[in-house]
Structure 1
Amino acid sequence: MTQISIPAVYYRGGTSKGVFFKRTDLPEAAQQPGKVRDRILLRVLGSPDPYGKQIDGLGNASSSTSKAVILDKSSSPDHDVDYLFGQVSIDQPFVDWSGNCGNLTAAVGAFAISQGLVSPEKIPDNGICTVRIWQANIGKTIIAHVPVANGEVQECGGFELDGVTFPAAEVVIEFLDPADGEGDMFPTGNLVDTLDIPELGSLQATLINSGIPTIFVNAADLGYTGTELQDDINAKPAELDKLETIRAHGALKMGLIKDLSEAATRAHTPKIAWVAPPQSYTASSGKTVSAADTDLLVRAMSMGKLHHAMMGTASVAIATAAAVPGTLVNLVAGGGAREAVRFGHPSGTLRVGAAAERQNGKWFAAKAVMSRSARVIMEGRVRVPAATLGE
């Protein structure tokens, strides 16, 4: 029995961590989608693990750290790199390829530059390198503005991001046309829908496809305040079951699944989040978040657990929904037109900009903008048993 060795880089991007690969560095059988690729990524992260700890891999037993990224020189015109994201299940043998990770997007540009996927003439000796990214999961363009010093990616700096302990260099990310380009970013055509759930009754929801498909509900309708921290939800199986039931019904209403039973195999999308008016609370770090520092409070679930901060793609959904008068997010934030929103999450606050307008009877968002940071934690080679390749 032997192991195979694969070049890889372990990154912290935003409030997430993931293992990054160049597609051409993967074993030949894993250079295209399929069972071999999924098996390798599962083994790299240490999944599936019935203990839920991912001890025998690089995962850290949370949805924020059980992630894999595959990058390649772009095959799309006017783009530098193709970005493919896999959300690796912790306790089940599957990789969800249905969405994007906005947090790890902060590291995509840096990886592309350092791995030679960006043309050298585009990289300044000192300044900002603009990397055009094709997000292959969802077919969207993302632009990362990566700081460069002495011809190399600058990772250290003074930018602070709630949910990340240490400051780093700021990376500005633009999500262009973050909604589904094939239709209204509100899949049902409504700003507010009613979900009829036999176990729970009727529930108002804003269903949006921007950044990532997301179901927004009012915290009060769930018996929540919007100030919840992870243990308030994750330690209560009944609450987790309730939220997953709502998520499944929302996915069905959005047309993402054809039967409620399919939700279990589409755990990464859609997200479910709840919103509440501003109030002061204590963040997970122990610091006080003042009501005056936020426009609204948001809590969101990721892979069946309350997220410790906020997913980057869900942040895009929050900002876009807040920009459309009449959505639940907009109403909780005070209503009216807005081009940016600052929301409170379990680790602190985040500001995201977005503008929306109505065109030909449908809502459209040109882009959403946020700041993140990224840093290489480890680079080298990751090993997996050769038997992972299978037949």
Structure 2
Amino acid sequence: MNTTEIGFGYRPRAAYASDPAQTRGRLVLEPESATRTPFQRDRDRIIHSTAFRRLKHKTQVFIAHEGDHFRTRLTHTIEVSQIARALARALRLDEDLAEAVALVHDFGHTPFGHTGEDALNEKMRPWGGFDHNAQSLKIVSELERRYANFDGLNLSWETLEGLVKHNGPLTGDIPPAILAYNDHHDLELGRHAGLEAQAAAIADDIAYDTHDIDDGLRAGLVTLDMLEEVPLCAEILADVRRQYPDLDAVRTAHELMRRQITLMVEDVIATASANLERLAPRSPAEVHTAGVTLVNFSASMREAESELKSFLYSHLYRHPQVMRVRASADVIVRDLFDRYMTDDAALPEDWRERQAVRDEAARARHVADFLAGMTDTYAVREHRRLFDRTPDLG
């Protein structure tokens, strides 16, 4: 049977998908590429950036040196991009844009995952706090310095909009960095992002809902028996054990992971397809003004996913072993921030040269930019260079 007959071949882009030929362009005008669409160029720029390479040494859940096979921000990001492309293909969206948003969505994360972000946010509270999504925007619009004609990556409007709003419209307390950028390049913060960004956002949920279980099993903090308390996992495990009663634990876990991803992806495709059929948007603009997220879980899957998240928070993210490592990482980030704020010489020479403004708020933001860009390994090395004793992360 030809693949086009069962829906896996080429399918033309839908009217509600983002069209690279109709892009709203870039902040700094550039000649178009003869061989790549604007969204393909964005994806390529993201992959070739310094920030993308740094993701390989940034924490997902477990600090890198705890084991070679645990996810890092980079492997997590690649997994998200694969799921985002699958969703985009099924829904007839622009796959390259969905991939670009997925690949860039975690650029602003600090070393040591959410622990580092929490510590840096508290240290930066007097000067507007710290938000990893705002930091992602700052990296791609300012801090990456590779091109002759502009700072940042000069990504297209659609990719930037997807980066900033992939989790929904921004209202209320919006990070200052996003507001500052939006003043000269309006990303329509109060409207929903395009469908490609929505696909990337839910792909993120699917990836970490599944792969954090895998890492928890590998670390020995979660067991298959414990997962029988979680309805979504229990149902899948029961099917696997009925089919393969003698299967070993490692293969059983892998069957759980692959089947859970498939189940969640297919649920999103069915739900999004029904939403699109019901609302019948005739253009990307009608998606932006729809007032709802269209690429989403069904009500039953949303409930099951919420129960799974609660399990992960109780048994993995808040596990005493994880919390002990987080406490040590918290000390490292706080110590480094305080030292850089009080000692010019502690910063590397190129960052000292960039620190032209000396008021306290600008200095704090400069230090936060430097710290947020660190990998786990570099942060530990810097702490050992500047302090007599560094907390043990082992």
Q: Compute the TM-score of the two structures, normalised by the length of structure 2.
A: 0.25
Q: Which has the larger radius of gyration?
A: 2
Structure with greater strand share of residues: 1
